[in-house]
Structure formats: structure tokens, C-alpha cells
Chain A
Amino acid sequence: MTRRVAWVLGRCGLYVLLTAASILMTFPLFWMISTSLKSLEEANAPRIIWIPSAVVLDAYRSVLADPDFLRAYVNSAFYAALALAGTLVSIAAVAYAFSRIQWPGRNVVFALMLSTLMIPAQALIVPQYVFFSRLGWIGTFNPLIIPGFFAGGAAMIFLLRQAMAQIPKELEESAIIDGASHLRIWWEVVLPLVKAPLATVSTFLFVGFWNNLLGPLLYAQTSRLQTLPVYVAQLYNINNTIQPWPTIMASAVLTTVPLFIVFFLAQRFILESVVLSGLKG
């Protein structure tokens, strides 16, 4: 009997702890939404106002009426979509080479690829900047998008390769006997079997592009090319006597909406892939 009571108490304690942790972890998001619905006075009030006394949509109205914000949204969407398409296809091709074909030099190239995991991308940013400036690409989207077309992202290749390596060999052997080319096997046999890892990789890539700040700061500084993170970051100005927090948070909410959608669509794939391959985004 006492054991049973102790077990129930333990469970309750566990749930209390986990719920408290969840509230702490998601609090910034709650605060972001709450502030975006406040009036300017309430947002800057020197006491805690958990929920606005009256929902004010002025902030959203002013953000959505700002052509700079809308352009930043279009720019971010353009950048993320095109970069995602190029990166995904090339990564899927390279992962296929590393998992389904036996070719001379494969192990050496694969080891080289894994070693690039230790190089932080930013350590290469200086010479790459020079390279892009010689191409005349500063002030264009190209430096943000084109490198991805060359299978950018060793971690993502590795994740996909692990998934493709688990497909039984017999599947494609019969296709080869039927005379199918590697290109067809890749597209019609292998890729449909790794949809879940592809969803994971797409999510990580999309999140990376959507959140990227350093790249656009270097290459897309002009107002015409401004992406969302750069736009939002400059809304806060230390010289303001009163910060327009509701406006800033309204644009923050609108900026993060696509991340929420993508994450909730893909979360069941992500959690499993991360555990399987021990990789982080």
C-alpha cells in the first residue's frame, strides 16, 4: 500500500516538474504574443501585466501596412524557398552516392566530408566574402543561395545517408536487372522510401535559412534585399525614448509563424531522426 502511494506521489511530482519546465521553456513565446496585443503604455508599464486589459491590434495593423516588412517577408520566403530546393536535391544526390553505390575513393571522400563537420562555416566567411565580391555578388541574394546548390551541409548529408543505407539492397537490384538507370532508381525507388528523413532535413534547412542573420548582414544589406531577421533586429533602436514593443513583438510573431507551422508539421519525423543519428539542427 505505502509503495503504491509513494509511486503515485512520485508520478505527481514528475508531472509538476515537467509542467513547470514546459511553462518556463515556452514563456518567451507567450510573452511575445501577449506584448504584441498590448497598448504602448501597457507594454512599457513598470509592473507585470500578464494579459493585456484590452486586446489592441494596432501593432499588427501598423506592421502589415509597412511596405518594408512585407518586402522583407517576400525576400525571406524567396531566399528560403530557392535555397531549400537547390540544397535538398543536391544533398539527396550526394547521400545516394555515399550509401547506394560502391565507387573507388568513396571512403576517402566520405571521411573528408565528415571532417568538415568540425569546421564552423563562419570560419570560412572571410575568404568566401572576397570570392563573392570578385564575382560582383555583394548586394545580391546569390551568396546566400548558390552555395547550397553544391550540397551545403555535411550534417544533413550524413543524416540522409544513414537513412538510405538502411534500405535493403534487393530493392534496387531488381530495378537494375530491369535496366533502370541510377538516376531513375534514385528518384523513383530510393527517394520515396526516405520521405521522413527528407522532411527532417528540409525542416532543419528551412529553419537555418529563415533564421540566418550573419549571411544577410554581409551580403544583403540594402533595404531592397533586407530579410526578416535583419529587418526585425533594426526595429529596436537604443536611442528611442520609448521602445515600440507592441510593434516589434507583432513583427516577431509574424516572423516566427512559418517556423511554428513547419515544426509542428514535421515534429514527429524530427524527434526520431535526431535520436537515430544523434545530430542537432
Chain B
Amino acid sequence: MTDNPYVFTLVSALVTTAFIIAACVGLGGLARLVVRLTGGNLRRQDQAYAGYFFAAPWIVGFLIFVVIPMLASLYWSFTNYRIGQPTAVVGLENYSRLILEDREFRGSLVNTLFLTLIGVPLQIGVALGLAVLLNQKLKGERTFRVTFYLPVILGFNAAVLLCWRLMLNASNGIIDQAIRALSNASPVVSALNRGLIYVVEVVNGFFLGLTNGNYTLLQRVLETGFPAANRVPMWIQTPLWSKMSVILLMVWICGSMMLIFLAGLQATPRELLEAAEVDGAGSWRRFWKITFPLLTPYVFYNLVLGLIAALQIFEPVYVLYRDNQPLAPSAYSMVYYLYQATFRFNEIGYGSAISWLILIIIAVASMIQFRLQSRWVEYEIR
């Protein structure tokens, strides 16, 4: 057609628009016909026409971009399909290679587990803390709210992530320099810093052991013992810390979870809290006996969304670790691994198997969460 990419896309957009309008009229007409043949009156016919006319863009898009791709990829997941090469059905080979042999896939699973077990609770904790602080009828509450939400908008832009890469640098990054300065100034901060480093490295050593099948890194951490006084976190330098940088970013963008908690806090009935206060319950007790139980549905909602988000983390891994090959796999999320494994050699068959495993994992994890929710989520106070 044309060499100019802008003109090409503008023309495509016009053609698409024409196609969608045709689909609207077609689908609406079809719906009207069906209603007429099943004996619907004129009003019902008109409603069917209008409803399908307006919903058609989504229905058609759902078929083209969701249903057909999902079915195609289900089929391809049983083949060795690569773009531009002959395809053969290989049965369950992709899946068995993924589950039994592929160390990087297992690594991405373990990383997602780590982010879900440690990152998401931290995120939820900070979001809840900020929401409680904001829910005190303060002057200037709005400004704080906007400030805490800002990272959600900027957060995963590659440009902002590069700034984090600058700040997380171990030798002259601002974060470690600040930690160093504070540790030198106060022995309490120093002890806290060393204790935290120890805990982080032991926990990460354990999870890396799960990935690698051997625990040499964990052993090395334990043999070294309590970190020396001049130690600082090694954010983007070692596998022991690579996931912690991602968690730091997750906590930074907890603003949307915070807003959801704020909505929950504002829905807490005043009378209950006031009655408890009259009965002499302190604010700490009131929070844990009344406010928190009423917030559990919101915690649950954030947990479900947090897990799905953890599976999909892409930009931070790309910007922080893409060019640091031996280290990068220790921070791969499942979606990053999907991208990496599929498009390195355009292995569509293998990538399809990964996609389906991700979908199955989300379905199973959500089901487990919904099962467990009756044990701790309270929809009314008892």
C-alpha cells in the first residue's frame, strides 16, 4: 500500500471503523430477525437491534482477539509450531518439557510464588497503613491522596524505572548511600539494616534453592553469618536481591490498593465504632475488633488482583535486568518468561503451552482463594 507508517495505520483505522459499523448493523439486524421469528413484539425487536448494535464492537472483538486466539493457541500448544516452519503435532511434549525440564520456567513459577507470598502482603500492608493514616479527617488529605496515587500513573513507565535503576545502584546509588550514612550515624539503624539484610538474604537463598534444586547460595549466606557493619543491600547486583527490587517497586505503586482500602474505611459504620468507644475500647482494639474484620473483603479483593498483577510484572524486569543475563532469570515473572521463551526463537507452540499454563494457574489460584475466603473474610460483624 503505502510506505508511510502513519498513513498506513490511519487507513487501517478507517477500514476497521467501517468494518465495525457493518458488524454493528449486521449483528443488530440478525438479533432483530431472531426476535421477530420467535414472536417478539415490535418493541422487543427494536431493543434487540439497539442492544446488539451497541454491544457489537465488544462481541466481535471478543471473538477475534480472545476466543479464536485462545482456541488456536490451545491447538498449537500440542504442536512444535514455529513461524515459517513446517508444523507437526507433538502431543504433550511441550507441557512435559515445561514442567519437567525447563529450569527457567520453574524459576519464574518460584519467583511468582515469592512475589505473591512476600511482595503482595507487603504491598497490602503499606496500602492499608496509608489508608488508615489518611482516614482521620485531616486538612490537606486530598493532597496526600494525590501524592500517594501518583506512582500508580508514573510507576511502570520505562523512563521512571530507569531512574530507579540509577537509585538502586549499589556503589553510588542514592538509596545505598543514604543507608550507609544513616548506619554510620546511628548504631540502631546499623543493627536494623544488618538484621534486615540477613533476613532478606536467608529467605531469598531459600527460594533460589527451590529454583535451582541446590542450596549452595543459602549455605554461603549462613556460613558468612551476620552481615558485616559496612554491608548495604545489593539491590540489582545479585540474585539474592533482584526480586527485592521488584517488591520495592510493587510497594511504591500501592496507591490503587490504598484507594480501595479508603473506600472500605469510609464504608465502616460510625455507630459501631462510637459504641465501642463508649464501652471503653481503645483505638488499637477498635481497629482490630471492628474495622479490620469489616475490611477483609477489601483485603481479599486486593489479594486476588495482586496475584494476577504479580504474574504479569514485565516492565521492571525488562528495564532493570534485561541486559544482565546471568542475573535476569532470578527476577523473571511468568509473563516475562513467556515473552523471553516464545520470541527468542519464535517458538509459538511452546509459548502457547506457557500461556495455557499461566491461565490454568490463575484459575486454580483464584479458586483456592475463593475457597479459603469463607474462613477469614467477614461480610458482616458477628
Contacts and interface: CB of A to CB of B under 8 A. Distances in A.
Interface in A114-152: 116, 118-120, 122-131, 133, 140-142, 145-147, 149-152
Contacts of B66: 116, 119, 124
Contacts of B153: 203, 207, 259, 262-263, 281
**7 tightest A-B CB contacts, nearest first:** A103-B51, A150-B61, A97-B54, A127-B69, A252-B159, A280-B256, A229-B158
Contacts of B207: none
Interface residues of B, number: 107
B362 interface: yes
Contacts, number: 318
Contacts of B178: 48
B308 A118 contact: yes
Interface string A208-236: 00110110011000001100111011011
Contact of B355 (A28, A124, A225): A124
B293 interface: no
Contacts of A104: 31, 35, 44, 48, 51
B308 A120 contact: yes
A83 to B, nearest CB: 9
B295 to A, nearest CB: 13
Interface in A254-281: 255-256, 259-260, 262-263, 267, 270-271, 274-276, 278, 280-281
B348 interface: yes
A233 B166 contact: no
A94 B315 contact: no
Contacts of A218: 339, 343
B83 interface: yes
30 contacts: A25-B151, A28-B151, A28-B164, A32-B163, A35-B163, A46-B172, A48-B178, A82-B9, A90-B20, A97-B53, A103-B51, A104-B35, A109-B55, A118-B308, A120-B312, A122-B338, A127-B76, A129-B348, A133-B83, A140-B8, A142-B8, A150-B57, A182-B54, A211-B156, A229-B159, A233-B319, A271-B146, A271-B149, A274-B259, A281-B152
Given A140-B8, A252-B163, A275 B262 contact: yes
Contact of A149 (B16, B150, B159): B16
Contacts of A224: 5
Contacts of A9: none
A37 interface: no
Q: Most chain-A Cβ atoms within 10 A of its Cβ — which of B48, B154, B311, B351?
A: B154
Interface string A1-28: 0000000000100110110011001101
A274 B342 contact: no
A121 to B, nearest CB: 8
B221 interface: no
Interface string B339-355: 10011000010011011
Interface of B: 5-6, 8-10, 12-13, 16-17, 20, 31, 35, 44, 47-48, 50-55, 57-62, 64-66, 68-70, 72-73, 76, 83, 130, 133-134, 136, 138, 142, 144-154, 156-160, 162-167, 171-172, 174, 177-178, 181, 252, 256-257, 259-260, 262-263, 266, 298, 301, 305, 308, 311-312, 314-315, 318-319, 322-324, 335, 338-339, 342-343, 348, 351-352, 354-355, 358-359, 362-363, 366
Interface stretch (A52-60, A191-199, A243-251): A243-251
Contact of B58 (A11, A131, A157): A157
A29 B65 contact: no
Contacts of A44: 172
B13 A211 contact: no
A128 B5 contact: no
A238 B323 contact: yes
Interface string A165-205: 00000000000000000100010000000000000000100
Given A150-B57, A186-B54, A211 B308 contact: no
Contacts of B156: 211, 213
B157 A236 contact: no
A78 B358 CA distance: 33
Interface residues of B: mostly helix, strand, loop or mixed?
Answer: helix
Given A151-B57, A151-B61, A259-B157, A280 B305 contact: yes
Interface in A80-126: 82, 86, 90, 93-94, 96-98, 101-106, 109, 112-113, 116, 118-120, 122-126
Interface string A150-169: 11100001000000000000
A126 B348 contact: yes
B62 to A, nearest CB: 7
B9 A140 contact: yes
Given A26-B150, A133-B83, A263-B153, A118 B16 contact: no
A211 B157 contact: yes
Contacts of A210: 157
Contacts of B362: 118-120, 123
B54 A101 contact: yes
Contacts of B177: 47-48
A241 interface: no
A264 B85 CA distance: 50
Nearest to B75: A127
